[in-house]
Chains A and B, each alone.
Chain A
Amino acid sequence: MNLRVLYFASMRDQAGVDAEEVATDVGDARGLYAELRARHGFALDPARLRVAVNGAFAAWEQSLRDGDEVVFMPPVSGG
């Protein structure tokens, strides 16, 4: 399946892009993060991230489907 992954803040700097199309066979967000972390060397452990799928907060175990937009969000610092 093909996914669209968006990156923000320090993760965008580490990935070197703000978005990418990813062709993968992983089943869920946890597997996707492990795959992308190996590729980009993300510093943050999953325990410090939250996941969004198609614009809504999601569980790490949520199944991913072809065409999903996935975001791994580092700790926020607005305000």
Chain B
Amino acid sequence: MTDLARFALSALPIDAAALGSALARVHAGACVTFEGWVRDHNAGRAVLRLDYEAYAPLAASEGERILAEASEKFAIAAACCAHRTGALAIGDLAVWVGVSAAHRGAAFEACRFIIDEVKLRVPIWKNEHYVDGESGWLHPDNTPVAR
């Protein structure tokens, strides 16, 4: 069981060190973290910067639901995820996931689960601004999203 499962949207830079420290537990022997950074290219285009926007109330509740699912599926001690909103530059920290657990296996698996589910399910959208002056909202179109 987790005693910390917290999802946060942040318009300000994410303090990864503080979030990581908050995952410490006396019974936790492993901590796995994932950092998603803004990179300078996507799908063959040179990216200058990007904006994230979220439907905040549902992003928060769906993010919390994903963390709760992770704590049911994996033997973890604590889990946390923070996602930026607003304007970001190349190299900025866009999303952070941290999981502590008694052992490393569950921590790795839960961390992977959380970032994968956040990318699939949480209502956050990315607008990429390209070097050629164009910009565009990304709406991945490989699968229908209706359930």
Contact = CB atoms under 8 A, between A and B. Distances in A.
B52 interface: yes
Interface of B: 36, 52-55, 57-58, 61-62, 83, 94-95, 115, 118-127, 136-141, 144-147
Given A8-B55, A79-B95, A79-B119, 8 more contacts: A47-B146, A50-B146, A56-B61, A76-B119, A76-B122, A76-B123, A77-B138, A77-B139
Contacts, number: 90
Contacts of B58: 52, 55-57, 71
Nearest to B126: A77
Contacts of A28: none
Interface string A63-79: 00000000101111111
A9 interface: yes
Contact of B145 (A13, A49, A55, A56): A49
Interface of A: 6, 8-10, 13, 44, 46-50, 52, 55-57, 60, 71, 73-79
The secondary-structure label for the interface of chain B is mixed
Contacts of B138: 77
Given A9-B137, A9-B139, A77-B126, A50 B145 contact: yes
B54 A78 contact: yes
B50 to A, nearest CB: 10
B147 to A, nearest CB: 7
Contacts of A73: 55, 123, 145
Contact of A60 (B62, B144, B145, B146): B146
Nearest to A75: B139
Contacts of A44: 139
B118 A78 contact: yes
A47 B55 contact: no
B55 A71 contact: yes
B145 A75 contact: yes
Contacts of A8: 53, 55, 123, 125
